[in-house]
């Protein structure tokens, strides 16, 4: 077994702590960083070409110190600079340079699949590189096996798209036209690629200007000291909260991916957090071997640390999200060849199935230390790749359709219904129908998909899409078809996803939820039902009035109200029958025995307990 220690996290020289900086100046610097990030992200949102960026808002801008450590942003612990320095040492950099890459392997997972593009501008202050600015977005298409590049059926990184190793796309202010032409030539939609890449270049450049202005306004030493203090403060918060909330001991979490796109076999990762004294280790080596398909996720030590840090950051959001997020965990162990450290050239395109669950695993650790005082698991967000041959022109069109799922219930309230993932937005049906030969016939809440609980898990959605052109194919990135989102503190797991073609007709058939190259023809209708989030707390303790509301609004069915919540509703008058409800709840309570900390197929308290059940009931 090889334990990977290759490229743990950002590793350049640290910012120099100098004299303590006045607290007012520090807040002014934080405020200016926040405003600059917003400004540069606005540039991306308003100037990018592809709907993926403009409507789904999959982009971010971050600032890094001279050592590549995050000053402020959303790099999630990645070592953004390491692979750039491998090719372009600091001494070789010049003002006006701009670097570009998307290579997950050369960057050791600082980006995790090929559509994610990174642009970096060094910040020169009086001839010295004092910082870097980084813009990032998910691009529409660059090479790969099918329009949209990545996809469920891919088995090699080459299927996922064209690799861009770190290159200098702008050399001291001059565009590297030859490299740019090669890259644009590799896209099925070069106009979109050009628009998007120009938007990212201009955002990185503006970020660089803004940071430079701050160095001019506050002075080099003050800036560097303030940055170092900010990183230390966030680190202190994360460390304190980690130690406060996680007592000594071992905490294991295992989560399961339905399958890898190819084959039927499920895969799982395992993380074990070990606290001895004040030392905290994260051991992920007991994860499964890498998959043949595209769900492999190149985790970096920094990313795993940052997932934990991000959770604890919520306790003082006046502090910046920065390199300090990594301070909670002392050491991370990953195994080369595992699903969290796949070996070249494994496909990585659909790694979201894995990392979404990995992020939830952080909360599952905290749940074990806090009797479940965390948000339950969300379902994994869904993407459908609708591809259609346009009548008349014969052009192949691509509509990459991001679809909402249900999120986990929280210790204070219900989970969010119909949310994709944080701030990403859907396409309006009217936009889809205008731009593509598609008709959106139904867009509804998926009844009973939210995990039952004292607080209900968020519901997924139903999306019915009909093809209007003669022929097409579609790919589906739909997870939680076998393994639902887990519930916590007595709350139950969420509902499963499901995909059908031509439902309610003689041609109705089930479609594999995570699959590609499905054919459809004019008039065919595909129905995607997305999964819900896990519930929180015992569903028998949910206020009966809230269950009635959910029934009236179509989030919960009458049978589920009775069987899951023990709430009996008089169907004619649409009121709760309190006597029958008391009796039903007592009956369920007696029959089921004790609840557990987690629930998915049944209640369980430990990862080992669930693994045993899964091995017995869902053979690989």
Partner 1 sequence: MPSYSVAVDVGGTFTDIVLCDTASNSQWVHKTPSTPSDPSVGFMTGLSEILATNGVDARDVGHIFHGTTIATNSVLENRGAPVGLLVTEGFRYVLEIARHGTPRLANPNSWVKPQRPVRPRDCLEVSERTAFDGQILEPLDEAAVRRAAGHFAREGVAAIAVAFLHSYANPSHERRAREILREELPEVAVSLSSEVLPVYREYERAITTVLNAYVTPRVSTYIENLQSSLRAFGSGASLSIMKSNGGIIGADTAVEQPVYTALSGPAAGVMATLQIAEATGVANCISFDMGGTSTDVSLVQDRLPGLTLNGRLGDWPVQLPMLDIATIGCGGGSIAEVSPYGSLTVGPASAGADPGPACYGRGSHRPTVTDANLVLGRVSSSIAGGQLTLDTEAAADAIREAVASPLGMDVAAAASGVLQIANNAMVGAIRNISVERGYDPREFALVAYGGAGPMHAIEVANLLGVTTVVVPPHPGIASAYGLLVAEFKNDYARTSLQQPPDYDLRGMAEIFDGLEREGQQWLETEGVANSGRMLSWSADLRYEHQGSELTIPYEGTRIDRIGLEGMIEDFHRRHSQLYGFSLDQSVEIVTLRVTAAGQLGDVAMPTLPAGGGDAADAVVDERRVYFEEIQDFVPCPIYRRERLSPGDGIGGPAILEGMDSTVVINPGWESRIDQYGNCIMRAAGE
Residues 133-172 that bind partner 1 (CB under 8 A): none
Residue 49 CB partners (closer than 8 Å, separation 6+): 140, 191, 192, 194, 195, 196, 199
- C-alpha distances (whole Å) from 194 to each of 139, 140, 207, 519 are 10, 11, 20, 30
**Rounded least distance, CB 550 to partner 1, Å:** 10
- Please count the residues of this chain forming the interface with partner 1, following the rule CB under 8 A: 79
Complex with partner 1: residue 190 or 602, whichever CB lies closer: 190
| Three-state secondary structure string covering 537-579 | CCHHHCCHHHHHHHHHCCCCCHHHHHHCCCCCEECCCCEECHH
Kindly identify the residues of this chain, within the stretch 190-219, that bind partner 1 according to CB under 8 A: 191-192, 194-195, 198-199, 202
Answer yes or no whether residue 366 interacts with partner 1 by CB under 8 A. Answer: no
Tokens of 155: 């088995």
- C-alpha distances (whole Å) from 209 to each of 63, 132, 195, 222 are 12, 11, 21, 18
Out of 116, 288, 417, 524, the residue judged to bind partner 1 by CB under 8 A: 417
Answer yes or no whether residue 265 interacts with partner 1 by CB under 8 A. Answer: no
Tokens of 248: 């000594």
Pairing of strands 331-335, 279-283: parallel
Answer yes or no whether residue 443 interacts with partner 1 by CB under 8 A. Answer: yes
Out of 295, 416, 531, 544, the residue judged to bind partner 1 by CB under 8 A: 416
* Residue 307 backbone class (left: φ over 0; alpha: ψ -120 to 50; beta: rest): alpha
Answer yes or no whether residue 442 interacts with partner 1 by CB under 8 A. Answer: yes
**Rounded least distance, CB 322 to partner 1, Å:** 12
Answer yes or no whether residue 513 interacts with partner 1 by CB under 8 A. Answer: no
CA gap 597, 591 in Å, rounded? 18
Answer yes or no whether residue 177 interacts with partner 1 by CB under 8 A. Answer: no
**Rounded least distance, CB 363 to partner 1, Å:** 8
Answer yes or no whether residue 428 interacts with partner 1 by CB under 8 A. Answer: yes
Out of 50, 149, 300, 322, the residue judged to bind partner 1 by CB under 8 A: 50
Strands (E), 393-511: 396-403, 438-445, 461-467, 471-477, 487-488, 498-501, 509-510
Out of 19, 89, 127, 314, the residue judged to bind partner 1 by CB under 8 A: 314
- Greatest Cα pair distance, the chain, in angstroms, is 79
Kindly identify the residues of this chain, within the stretch 12-31, that bind partner 1 according to CB under 8 A: 22-24, 26-28, 30-31
Answer yes or no whether residue 390 interacts with partner 1 by CB under 8 A. Answer: no
Binding track over 216-255 against partner 1, x by CB under 8 A: -----------------xx-xx------------------
CA gap 223, 217 in Å, rounded? 9
Residue 425's closest CA among 52, 138, 149?
A: 52
Answer yes or no whether residue 188 interacts with partner 1 by CB under 8 A. Answer: no
Torsion, Cα 292 295 300 302, to 10 degrees, reads -170
Complex with partner 1: residue 315 or 344, whichever CB lies closer: 315
**Rounded least distance, CB 307 to partner 1, Å:** 13
Out of 461, 499, 540, 567, the residue judged to bind partner 1 by CB under 8 A: 461
Complex with partner 1: residue 40 or 299, whichever CB lies closer: 40
CB 115 within 8 A of CB 142: yes
- Enter the DSSP assignment of 346: B
**Rounded least distance, CB 186 to partner 1, Å:** 18
CA gap 587, 475 in Å, rounded? 45
Give bridge partners of residue 3 from the DSSP assignment: 335
**Rounded least distance, CB 223 to partner 1, Å:** 15
Out of 10, 445, 465, 547, the residue judged to bind partner 1 by CB under 8 A: 445
Complex with partner 1: residue 314 or 617, whichever CB lies closer: 314
Kindly identify the residues of this chain, within the stretch 527-566, that bind partner 1 according to CB under 8 A: 552-554
């Amino acid at each position: 077994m090889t334990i990977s220690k290759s490229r743990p996290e950002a590793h350049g020289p640290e910012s120099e702590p100098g004299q303590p900086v006045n607290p007012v100046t520090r807040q002014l610097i934080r405020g200016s960083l926040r405003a600059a990030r917003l400004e540069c992200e606005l540039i991306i949102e308003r100037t990018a070409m592809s709907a993926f960026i403009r409507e789904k808002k999959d982009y971010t801008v971050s600032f890094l110190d001279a050592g590549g450590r995050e000053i402020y942003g959303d790099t999630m612990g990645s070592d953004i600079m390491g692979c750039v320095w491998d090719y372009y040492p600091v001494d070789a950099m010049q003002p006006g340079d701009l670097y570009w890459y998307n290579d997950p392997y050369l960057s050791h997972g600082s980006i995790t699949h090929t559509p994610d593009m990174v642009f970096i501008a060094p910040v020169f202050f009086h001839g010295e590189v004092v910082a870097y600015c980084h813009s990032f977005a998910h691009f529409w298409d660059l090479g790969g096996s099918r329009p949209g590049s990545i996809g469920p059926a891919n088995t090699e990184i080459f299927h996922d798209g064209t690799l861009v190793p770190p290159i200098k796309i702008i050399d001291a202010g001059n565009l590297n036209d030859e490299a740019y032409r090669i890259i644009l030539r590799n896209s099925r939609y070069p106009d979109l690629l050009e628009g998007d890449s120009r938007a990212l270049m201009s955002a990185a450049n503006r970020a660089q200007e803004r940071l430079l202005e701050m160095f001019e306004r506050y002075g080099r030493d003050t800036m560097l000291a303030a940055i170092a203090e900010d990183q230390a403060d966030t680190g202190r918060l994360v460390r304190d909260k980690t130690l406060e909330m996680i007592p000594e001991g071992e905490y294991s979490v295992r989560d399961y991916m339905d399958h890898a796109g190819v084959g039927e076999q499920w895969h799982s990762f395992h993380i074990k957090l070990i606290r001895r004294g004040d030392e905290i280790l994260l051991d992920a080596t007991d994860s499964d071997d890498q998959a043949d398909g595209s769900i492999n996720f190149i985790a970096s030590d920094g990313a795993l640390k940052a997932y934990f840090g991000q959770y604890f950051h919520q306790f003082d959001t006046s502090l910046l999200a920065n390199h300090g997020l990594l301070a909670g965990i002392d050491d991370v162990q990953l195994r080369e060849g595992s699903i969290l450290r796949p070996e070249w050239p494994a496909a990585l395109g659909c790694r979201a199935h894995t990392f979404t669950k990995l992020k939830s695993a952080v909360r599952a650790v905290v749940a074990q230390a806090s009797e479940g005082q965390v948000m339950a698991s969300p379902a994994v967000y869904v993407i459908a790749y609708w591809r259609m041959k346009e009548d008349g022109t014969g052009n192949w069109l691509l509509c990459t359709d991001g679809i909402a799922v249900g999120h986990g219930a929280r210790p204070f309230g219900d989970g969010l219904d119909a949310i994709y993932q944080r701030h990403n937005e859907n396409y309006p049906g009217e936009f889809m129908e205008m731009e593509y030969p598609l008709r959106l016939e139904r867009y509804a809440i998926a009844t009973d998909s939210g995990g039952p609980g004292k607080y209900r898990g968020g519901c997924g959605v139903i999306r019915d899409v009909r093809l209007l052109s003669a022929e097409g194919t579609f790919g589906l990135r739909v997870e939680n078809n076998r393994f639902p989102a887990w519930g916590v503190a007595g709350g139950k797991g969420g509902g499963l996803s499901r995909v059908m073609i031509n439902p309610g007709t003689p041609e109705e058939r089930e479609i594999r939820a995570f699959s590609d190259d499905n054919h459809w023809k004019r008039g065919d209708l595909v129905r995607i039902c997305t999964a819900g989030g896990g519930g929180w707390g015992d569903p028998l303790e949910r206020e009966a009035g809230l269950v009635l509301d959910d029934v009236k609004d179509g989030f919960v069915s009458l049978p589920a109200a009775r069987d899951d919540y023990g709430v009996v509703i008089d169907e004619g008058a649409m009121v709760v029958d309190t006597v029958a409800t008391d009796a039903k709840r007592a009956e369920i309570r007696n029959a089921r025995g004790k609840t557990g900390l987690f629930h998915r197929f049944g209640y369980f308290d430990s990862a080992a307990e669930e693994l045993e059940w899964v091995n017995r009931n869902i053979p690989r």
